[in-house]
Amino acid sequence: MTIEPIAPTAAHAALALEEAQRLTGDNPARYRMVAMGAMMRAFPHVQAMQLGEVLSIANAKRANAAVRKCRESSNWWNEARVEEVTGALVAERYGERAQ
């Protein structure tokens, strides 16, 4: 079964932000970075700048670098959070396989 790549929508961004905020708390900088990390995994065919724009990240051009910096140097970063948000994003497309 082949699953065609789709473009991220505002609904995807809203879901990613909502799930990331639930997992990380009310710090917008943190939950936007977790959402961005998840969007990068869920939509690997889309440029990071475009994903940053969909998520309304102020400096979308640097969104990829910002996620990388958080992964490398932030004590609050947790890949399990990114995986959980990614799962929420792909659940509709992959059904049970996303579990």
Residue 2 is assigned to a structural domain of this protein: no
Could you tell me if residue 80 is inside a domain?
yes
Structurally, how many domains does the chain consist of?
1
Q: Which domain holds residue 59?
A: 10-98
Q: Can you tell me the distance from the alpha carbon of 75 to that of 92, in angstroms, rounded to the nearest whole number?
A: 31
Q: Is residue 75 part of a domain?
A: yes
1 has pLDDT over 60: no
| Token code pair at residue 66 | 């910002």
CB of 89 closer than 8 Å to CB of 12:
yes
Q: 5 lies in a domain?
A: no
Please check whether residue 31 lies inside any domain of the structure.
yes
Is residue 73 in a domain? yes
- 14 in a domain, yes or no? yes
At residue 72 the predicted structure's pLDDT band, cuts being 50, 70 and 90, is very high
Taking residues 78-95, what's their average pLDDT? Answer: 91
Query: In what helix (H) or strand (E) does residue 24 lie, and over which residues does it extend?
Result: helix 10-24
Is 68 part of any domain? Answer: yes
Q: What is the pTM of this model?
A: 0.89
Mean pLDDT across 34-51: 95
